[in-house]
A and B are shown apart, each in its own frame.
Chain A
Amino acid sequence: MNMVNIKINNKDVKVAKGTSILNAAKEVGITIPNLCYHPDQEVKANCRVCVVEVEGARTLQASCATEVKEGMVIRTNTQKVRQSRKVVIELLLANHDMDCTSCKKNNQCDLQEIAANIGVRESRFENVLVKQEIDTSSSSIERNPNKCIRCGRCIQMCSEVQGLAILDYVGRGGSVDVKPAFGMYLNNAACVACGQCSVVCPVAAITEKEDIEQVWEAINNPNITVVVQTAPAVRVSLGEEFGLEPGKIVTGKLVASLRALGFDKIFDTDFTADLTIIEEGHELLKRLSDGGTLPMLTSCCPGWVNFIEQYYPELLPHLSSCKSPQQMFGALVKGYYAEKIGKKPKDVYSVSIMPCTAKKFEAKREEMSVDGENLDVDIVLTTRELAKMLRQAGVDFTILEEEEYDTPFGLSSGAGVIFGATGGVMEAALRTVYEVVTGKTLENLDFMAVRGLEGIKEAKVDLDGTIVKVAVAHSLSKAKQIMELIKEGKADYSFIEIMCCPGGCIGGGGQPFGGTDELRIKRTNAIYEADKGLPIRKSHENPAVSELYKEFLIEPLGEKSHHLLHTKYVNRKK
């Protein structure tokens, strides 16, 4: 590697050519505060918090945007730098709703943290905030313009990664805002509620719609049985909220913490992930043998379902009719489990813990009610909201003893776990489809070709002579590419897995704030590690699933399945 010699605060340092001053300083243990910079995004250099002194330069330089050069002399803590940083932060605070103590992101806000770190106690400038309406129109995310610092991270996420460009800068000068076209409400814009904007927002301008209080009420109502399901990706990210190392698998603590909060039954969405594989696998085989619409597209991701309904409704026949694991779970809770425990559906409160904001919208779709009266999933909480509940209840997550899920929906296979990462649904399906079709035992369970963070992945699988071509895409800009291929008739795949968020659910819009590719990789590795550690790694070998078919569902794609586990879609083109 080409190295250059530089001096940072009088210390000689050797760093790789092309490194930004910001990252070079990080390598030698100096954190330069920054707000608009995001390691996975194009450099914006607009917040001007990260300025440093570079010898010979007329002005201070944004360290995020300036590459090191041989012989460069950098100072990160001079009076000039300290003063500029302070003024910049004070300027931001002077156009910011300063209700920090009651803010949703109190103690989780980058602006607040930097202000504290660099010693800003109050802004010396007059507060000029013109209060605007908070957009609560979406059932998934909330946009509070009074908190926005115009850093543009959400804009880049929405346009570059998701290819949607719902948000952009509007106006200029002091009146610049970040909002949807015409200032419309999010629920009128073609937003898919993925919540990726909220993950990258450094302040509380975009957050999840908070639904914690309803859950507390249910837990504290003695007449109601509160059932909770936990999505696969939550177990590899929740620990981060409590200072545990990213990528730590905290399944047992997760279960224990939910019990500590007072949930009556703690189940695993992985169970219905296994169920999804059985139903979806058979749907695929049916389409293959009956000449059904191909390629078949997965349907477990609600952000993605919103996307195809809004942007490519003409391709809806490709979408699997299977409900997502969350909604299959909800349907089983209200349409099977309630009766089993001698309760009416309305007396069983169904909560799900999801890495996702779009799941909140999905749960509210009117067709997601098996009795037509009660929602199958009453409330969806994100990983972040669960962490908040635990803090509210004073549960010390780090010292909890590990506990086990309840029966009957607590048992799952490794195939169910990997649903949480891009390629996981595909891999889980292939493990089952292979054995169902060939009748042989699959020797190597790891389909490496569909794993990893590459945007679009392809694989060919030999099903005893029949070659099946599959593809996997994550993030909606990549989904768009696949949709265009299908429209042009160039997608010669049988089965395509699409997840809306970068990295899949482990990178979901409800995951801890500040997600980066670095974190996504750690969480992904943890997911596959969890898979490897399980005794059962194929969905069709999950005995609890077999039991459910035997006792209740009878057969995949059967009448009960049709009623409880499959759904229809709507053209929502805007």
Chain B
Amino acid sequence: MTTHSEEHKTHILPLSLYLNVGAALLTLTVLTVVVARMDLGVWNAILAMVIAVSKASLVALFFMHLKYDNKLYAVVFVGSLAFLGLFIILSMADTETRGDLDPIRENPIVREAIIYRDSTRFTNGHETSELDTAGAATDSADVVSDSTATHSTDSQTPDGH
């Protein structure tokens, strides 16, 4: 292990750096709002995420000192994002490809949730779960006779109390 005097040198970053990074972050916030107000189609989402990643990098590199600290911390942080990416990508490898090879003859997931079948619930802003059950029982056009859907017809009151 290294001795106290050798390694224990904290580099104190200049005040201007913090203020400049802060200003950059605020500018990027304004920028992302401005960009989002324009209709750029698919680019809206891409640009918004690019700006968010830039802002996050600024925070991580300067405020969280990743640029100056032990690189191990950067590995930990980037590693967490990488595994989050794996998690999302592999989950979506399923949710985005259902029925692609072997078409699902009956849709297992109700594309329109049962709560919308009951028009009365939307009138006064209050609803009760009994109404849901009634709604599902009368209209089974979208609820198909898949095993999952069978679950769904008796699962409208997830609170169970």
A and B co-occur in one complex: no
